[in-house]
Amino acid sequence: MNFASLDKTIRTLMRSKNTPGLALSIVHNDQVVYAKGYGSRDLKSFSPMTENTLIGIGSITKSFTAFAILKLQEAGKLRLDDSVADYLNYPLFAERPDIQIRHMLSHSTGIPTMDAGGKAFTHTFDDFSCLYPAETREEFIAHLGDAADFIVYKPGEKFFYNNDMYSCLAFIIEDLSGLTFEAFLHQEILQPLEMNRAALTQQALNNDPQGNVMTGYRFENRDGTAHAMASQVPIGGNVQAPGGIYTSMTEMANYALCLLNSGEFKGRQLLSPESVAQLFAPQISTVYGRGADPQYCLGWSKDDETQQMPHTVIHHGGAMLTSSSHLMLIPELNLAVSVAENASTGLCATVADAVVANLLNQDPSAVIEDLKIMHALDAIVGTYKSPHNMYSLTLSRKNGMAWVDAQIDDGATSFALLAKDIDQLQFARYSLRADNKNLLTFVRNKTTGKIDYVTYDRYLYRRA
C-alpha cells in the first residue's frame, strides 16, 4: 500500500471537513500493517491525535454487545430465538411474546425508536428541553411501553434502528451473568482481546494510564461559519450497550483480527466460528449500506458487491456528536479498517473507502462516490450570469445540500439539487416527481478543465 498517498488523502479530507483529529488502524493478512493519528486530540493543548488515543466509537459498540449475547448463547444461558419476555418480564414484552432476542439484535422488533436513553445525550450537552422519567430499569422500559399505540409492526416486518433495544440487551446480560454490563464486557471480551484501556465510564476515561484521551468537539454556527467547541462526552449509563465504548484504534485492530480469524485471537477462541457466522448472517433489509439490498445482521450491516466496492463488506459506523467512527471488514481481502474522529464531520467511512482504494491501486477521487461528489461541488460552487448579465444563478452549500438561487424571466427561484450523473456534472432540481427531467448541466472548458457554463431550463449562464 502507498501510505504516503493515503496520508495525503486523509489530510486533504480533514481540511475540507474541518476535522480536529482522526486515527485509524489497518489489518491485512493477519497483521496490523498501519496505525496512525492525524491532527489534534485536544486543540487548546496542541496535543496530537495518535493511534493510541481513546476515542468514542459510538454504535460500533453494538457489535460488542452482540458478541456478548453470542457468548451467553454458547454458555447455554439463552438462545437467539428465545422470547425476550422470558428474560424481561414487563408488559412491553410479555404482551408481545413473538419478539425474540434475535429481533433486538437486528433492529427488527417492530418497536420504533422512542429514545428512552436519549437523555444521556441531551443532558450531557446541557439541553434540558425534553424531560421524562427513565432513570431506573422499570422507568426505562415503561417509557417504551407507554407508547404502545406506536408499535404497529410485527417482529421481522420493519427495520427500526433502536438504541433502546440494545440497552434492554444489557439488562439481560447483567441478569444472566450476575455482572454489570461493563464488567462482563471487560472480563469476557475486552481483556482477552488486550483492549485493557477501553473505557465505558467517565471515571475510566479520567484514569486512563496513558492520559491519552480525546477531547470531543461539537460545532457551533456563528454568522454562517461552523466553529469547533470543546464538549463533555456522552458516556456511561444507558449509553453503554448501544454506543458507549471509548477505545484506541490500536486496540480496535485486535478486535478486527479476532473477527477476521473467526473468533480466535492469539491462540484463544473467544467465540466459535459458527457464532461469528451468526453475527454476520443477514436478518432484515436496512437503509444503512450500499447496493441493491443492504442487510442488517446482528450488530452489523452487510453489503453485497457494488461498482465502487467489488467485494462483500461487513461494517458498522458510530456517531456520538462529539466523536464518530467506522469499522469495515472485507473477509475476501482479509482486510479490516478502523477509523475514528473526535467530532462528527462525517469523514470516517470515506477514509475507510480510501484505504480500500489504495490497496486496490485505485485513485480514491475516481472511484469513491463521496469524494467524486465533494470534488464536483468544489468545482461548481459559485455565481453564474446569463447574457448581458440579465439574470444570475448562484450555487452554494446549505445544511449539507447543494442549493441553487436562480433568476429567470418568471422571477427568483430557489431549490436543492440532486446528483444525477456526477461524472457528467448533471444535477436534477429537487422534485417529488420521480421522472423529473429539469436538469442543470455544468460545462467544463476543454483546455483548462474548469467550469465555464451551466445550463438550466432555457438559459445558459456563464461563470462570473
pLDDT in tens, the chain (464 residues): 899 999 999 999 999 999 999 999 999 999 999 999 999 999 999 999 999 999 999 999 999 999 999 999 999 999 999 999 999 999 999 999 999 999 999 999 999 999 999 888 888 998 889 899 999 999 999 999 999 999 999 999 999 999 999 999 999 999 999 999 999 999 999 999 999 999 999 999 999 999 999 999 999 888 778 899 999 999 999 999 999 999 999 999 999 999 999 999 999 999 999 999 999 999 999 999 999 999 999 999 999 988 888 899 999 999 999 999 999 999 999 999 999 999 999 999 999 999 999 999 999 988 898 888 888 999 999 999 999 999 999 999 887 789 999 999 989 999 999 989 999 999 999 888 777 788 999 999 999 999 999 999 999 999 99
3-state secondary structure of 213: strand
**What is the SS3 assignment for 370-437?**
HHHHHHHHHHHCEEEECHHHCCEEEEEEECCEEEEEEEECCEEEEEEEEEEECCCCEEEECCCCCCCC
- What pLDDT shows up at residue 92? 96
Q: Cβ-count burial of 159 within 10 angstroms (0-12 exposed, 13-18 middle, 19+ buried)?
A: buried
Give the pLDDT confidence score for residue 234 in this predicted structure: 95
Of 108, 104, 177, 106, give the one whose Cα is nearest residue 141.
Answer: 104
Q: Which amino acid is at 294?
A: P
Could you tell me the end-to-end alpha-carbon distance of the chain, in angstroms, rounded to an integer? 42
Amino acid 369: pLDDT: 86
Count CB-CB contacts under 10 A for residue 246: 28
Q: What are the two backbone dihedrals, phi and then psi, of residue 284, each rounded to the nearest 5 degrees?
A: -160, 150
User: For residue 75, what pLDDT is reported?
Assistant: 98
Domain residue ranges in the chain: 3-363, 374-463
Q: Is the dihedral of CA 253, 258, 264, 270 positive or negative?
A: positive
DSSP string, 11-28: HHHHHHHT--EEEEEEEE
* Same fold for the pair 3-363 and 374-463: no
| Contact indicator for 393, 454 with CB cutoff of 8 Å | yes
Cell numbers that stand for 314 in this block: 461487513
Residue 158 DSSP code? -
CATH 3.40.710.10 fits 3-363, yes or no: yes
pLDDT at 432: 83
Helices (H), 146-295: 163-177, 181-185, 202-206, 240-243, 249-260, 273-279
Class of domain 374-463: mainly beta
